[in-house]
Structure 1
Amino acid sequence: MEEKSPIVPDVAVKGIATGLCMMAFFNLLWAGIAYGGLKTTNWWFLMIVFPALSIVFVINAVKLFGMAKYYPKLTSEADLAEEKRMGKWFGIIFGAEGLGIFIGINVVINLGYPQLTIPVLALVVGLHFFPLAKVFKRTIDYYLASWSTIIAILSIVLTLNKTFTENGMLAFTGVGIAIATSGYGIYMLLSGRALPKIAAN
């Protein structure tokens, strides 16, 4: 007997589309930070890659939002409860991330290290992927969390010991986190492109 493929609900399609939009935005944000450090060098042109990826992410997100209407809605109580649980925890984690950024930035400024604002921001971003991995049961979040956290810690250490100039810190941190957001966006892009095949089975 042939095994049936799992039904893909419309909320899963919209979730991927929303994720692509978020990665497009954050990709541009971190690429902009990196550009701030690279604009006086011959390497600034590398920043074209990240905006180009953001455009691809947005185009695919629009397609997925359009496709979502062809997928079934969640109807079972268990599925609806699980969706609500994940939404609640996503909101809590997102709120904690915002609070962590606010506290972290104020701490380094009050300690007299305003140059660490961007690395601390990157550190909080990296750390927030760890609980997300558990909530959404995605292994890739652990990789992104580890990568982003390492980039942030290296940036803090290398800035404090004067290895990095301010521009060097901006370039290193911006490129490092933009690689993470690009990787996440590409993962979502591939997940979205696999959806029609899953739905057709």
Structure 2
Amino acid sequence: MTITDTNSPISRAELRGRATGAGVMAFFGLGWMACGVTDMPVAAGRVVFAAGVLVSITFAVLGARLGRGAANAPTTDTEPTAARKKKVGVRFALVVVAEWVAIFVIARVLVSTDHAEAIPAFVAAVVGIHFFPLASLFGVRAYHWTGAALCASALAAAVLAPLTSTDALWTSVPGFGSAAALYATCVYLLRTR
């Protein structure tokens, strides 16, 4: 289940991890794309979203192909044991639960203080932060870059929207910025060296 960043042969477990990661990134990338287009003119938004659908489907299909190819990959002495898989699964669940609790609390606070427009930026920051523990959990140093990019898009929205008095930036900046970060991570995960 651990994805490594070394130049050793790609193991079955690593290929499966990459395939799963690419599928998840493609799915959430499309969600962020949907966020990004919310304040666009309808026709332009549909075109941009349709492009996002095609990109996400492409990454999901490539991830599925990579996952199917994992059956032919060599196993290694470092294949995770059942106990290791369970431990990783529990830690992953804890990270995701903490992420969702933080999103819920932040959204409630922003709504109750009449700042609901800022929810996408703060959600992008929380999602970005959740990539940092995942980087060490899965052994993917690139997740640090993914997390930093999501946090940067959140920060950019938090600075630019109030500075320019343009509420659309609260959705477009974290939406497109997060989608781009997740799609770039798909490219990284799908590489075969």
Q: TM-score if structure 1 supplies the norm length?
A: 0.79
Q: State the SS of the aligned residue for 1:182.
A: helix
Distance 1:12 1:42 in 2: 39
Could you tell me which residue of structure 2 aligns to residue 197 of structure 1?
none
Distance 2:95 2:104 in 1: 14
- RMSD over aligned CA atoms reads 2.6
Query: Quick one: which amino acid aligns to residue 21 of structure 1?
Result: G
Percent of residue pairs bearing the same amino acid type:
25
Q: Which moved more, 1:22-31 or 1:81-90?
A: 81-90
Could you tell me which residue of structure 1 aligns to residue 190 of structure 2?
189
Deviation, 1:30, is: 0.8
Q: State the SS of the aligned residue for 2:164.
A: coil
Report Cα offsets for 1:148-168 as digits up to 9, x if no partner: 112112212333x25243323
Distance 1:147 1:105 in 2: 21
Deviation, 1:128, is: 0.7
Do 2:157 and 2:169's aligned partners in 1 also have CA atoms closer than 8 Å? Answer: no
Could you tell me which residue of structure 1 aligns to residue 29 of structure 2?
27
Distance 1:39 1:30 in 2: 17
Distance 1:31 1:186 in 2: 17
**Number of aligned residues:** 186
Could you tell me which residue of structure 1 aligns to residue 3 of structure 2?
none
Alignment of 1:81-160 (within 5 A): 81-159=83-161
Distance 1:116 1:16 in 2: 32
Q: Which moved more, 1:150-159 or 1:171-180?
A: 150-159
Distance 2:68 2:54 in 1: 22
Could you tell me which residue of structure 2 aligns to residue 172 of structure 1?
173
Q: State the SS of the aligned residue for 2:190.
A: helix
Distance 1:20 1:42 in 2: 27
Report Cα offsets for 1:54-106 as digits up to 9, x if no partner: 12111112212322222356777x83144333222212111111111111111
Do 1:37 and 1:169's aligned partners in 2 also have CA atoms closer than 8 Å? Answer: no
Distance 1:188 1:50 in 2: 18
